[in-house]
Amino acid sequence: MIRLTAVIGGMVAAITCTLSGQEKSGPPAFEVVSVKPTPSASRDPIGLFTYPGGRIRATNYTLKQLIHDAYDVKDYRILGGPQWLDADRFDVEAKAPASSDASKWTPANFKSPPSAEMRKMMQTLLADRFQLKVHTEERKEKVYALVVAKGGPKLAPPASTTVQPFVSFLSHGLSGRNATTDQLVERLAFILKRPVANRTAIDGHFDFLIDYPPDEAGTDHTVLLLGAIQQLGLKLETESGSVTLTVIDHAEKPSAN
């Protein structure tokens, strides 16, 4: 009996270890999660914010924006989904388990993007709470390359090197403050809804303004932008390329908690 008990005890211990190993081998997940519809009277900013201890907070955020951050994919590369994908807004708070590397990660500031592990945790959150299912597709599409135009670049040094580097949207243009050409390329891709490669080989930070007000002919604003970029001594060239798209197969509205 003693030997049998010992054998059974060993079997239980082995099974427990196996189950524990299975749990650890699962996808990374947040330990605490709260998902609620954004109150109609909310004045919280639209954004996803990261904090020490593996904590994230998203306010006034759509499912499309959550997918953007979880999968590190541009909005214009997300296809399909329900009608409320880019309309209904949610407040999300989540905290990584103490055993994770994310719990020991300290972002540079609250606007820093999630770490790679936290993005995986966000993917698990979306699958659990939004029943999200996606797949990727490669498609051949026209892409752009930002290059230096004849005559060279016309980029002014920044008035202040301590200002947070940023390229902001204007009503009919783009404004850069202490910004890099990589940041400019990112904004151009957002407007053009196409990948833009940075082939300028220009390093450093700059102040700039790209102004492309509407004309009497009603020219499409993207066409105006293609011409206005030359104000900086740069130009956009088109070339063939491939684009990886994230396609939404299924999504449901989550129950609030």
Task: Copy the structure tokens of residue 196.
Answer: 């833009």
Give every strand in the sheet of 234-250, ordered side by side. 78-80, 234-250, 133-148, 196-198
The span from the CA of 55 to the CA of 78, in Å, is 25
The span from the CA of 107 to the CA of 7, in Å, is 49
> In which band, very low, low, confident or very high, does the pLDDT at 12 lie, cut at 50, 70 and 90?
very low
| 90-103 mean pLDDT | 96
Q: Where are the domains of the chain?
A: 28-130, 140-243
89, burial (CB in 10 Å: exposed 0-12, middle 13-18, buried 19+): buried
pTM of full prediction above 0.85 = no
The span from the CA of 240 to the CA of 194, in Å, is 11
- As a dihedral over the C-alpha atoms of residue 144, residue 148, residue 151, residue 152, rounded to 10 degrees, the angle is 150
**166-189 pLDDT tens trace:** 999 988 899 999 999 999 999 999
**75-94 pLDDT tens trace:** 889 999 999 999 999 999 99
Nearest to 123 by CA among 37, 246, 257, 242: 246
